[in-house]
Structure 1
Amino acid sequence: MTKKYAIIDTGGKQLRVEPGRFYDIHPFTSMGLNFLKPNTKISLCRVLLICEGSNINLGHPWIRNAIVRGRVLHPCFDKKKIIAKIDSKHKTRKELGYRQNLIRFIVDSIWSNGKELVS
């Protein structure tokens, strides 16, 4: 059994995706969190690599006619990051917390040259 996967560029990060799995990504800049409701279909065109068994299709920088299609499951948050500021001369401490907005989406299919990669 061979695995089929793609590497995409989203939110300034590279992510290895497989059909049927869900991933957490940063919201798109063109769309706000209010627009991305559950079951909203999304298509990602910035595909860097497609692996289908022993065949590897590498883009320069992206593969033409390659699309990763999926749908939004729900908006979510990242783990809380604690920022601590300590000033020893004034004996003050301050802790701030920050949680990044994320979108959880599931990959439905990977398309290359108009054909869907079937696993």
Structure 2
Amino acid sequence: MTYAIIETGGKQLRVEPGRFYDIELLHVDPDADYTVDKVLLVSHDDQVTVGQPFIEGATVEGTVMEHRRGKKVIVYKMKPKKKTRKKRGHRQEITRFMVNSISMNGSVIASAEAEEATAPVEVVAE
């Protein structure tokens, strides 16, 4: 199983090819390709490559699926005995990002198509 740890939006995220993730808003049109070059760690065939802080030449390619808003977060502030109350709500702007492949030094080491081909197939006996 191949995975990478990337940094985007000030957060670190473990990503695998063929899966989608909700990350901080990217200013890219939907259905456009996007490349993340801030790769901190890559694990492939039980070999782990760690960057200091980033791995040179490692990239994660993917497609921006859509832009959406996250769940509503309620912020409620109250001062006791002062009759002061503030209730505020906030919804974070997020981007749904589908990871297509993980590359190191220009060569693709894992892609969504390869993951689907090696996935076990269920056989239903009737």
1:7, distance to aligned residue in structure 2 (A) = 0.3
Sequence identity of aligned pairs in percent?
Answer: 45
Q: Which residue matches 1:16?
A: 14
Q: Please tell me whether Structure 1 or Structure 2 has the larger radius of gyration of its CA atoms.
A: 2
Q: State which of 40, 45, 49 in structure 2 corresponds to 1:48.
A: 40
Q: State which of 64, 75, 80 in structure 2 corresponds to 1:72.
A: 64
Q: Which residue matches 2:55?
A: 63
User: Deviation string for 1:54-100 (max 9, x for gaps)?
Assistant: 11111111000101000100001121111101132332422110011
CA distance in 2, matches of 1:39, 1:117: 23
Q: Which residue matches 2:121?
A: none
AA partner of residue 24 (structure 1): D
Q: Which residue matches 1:86?
A: 78
Structure 2, unaligned stretches of length 5 or more?
A: 116-126
AA partner of residue 46 (structure 2): S
Q: Which residue matches 2:106?
A: 114
In the superposition, the TM-score normalised over structure 2's length comes to 0.82
Q: Which residue matches 1:6?
A: 4
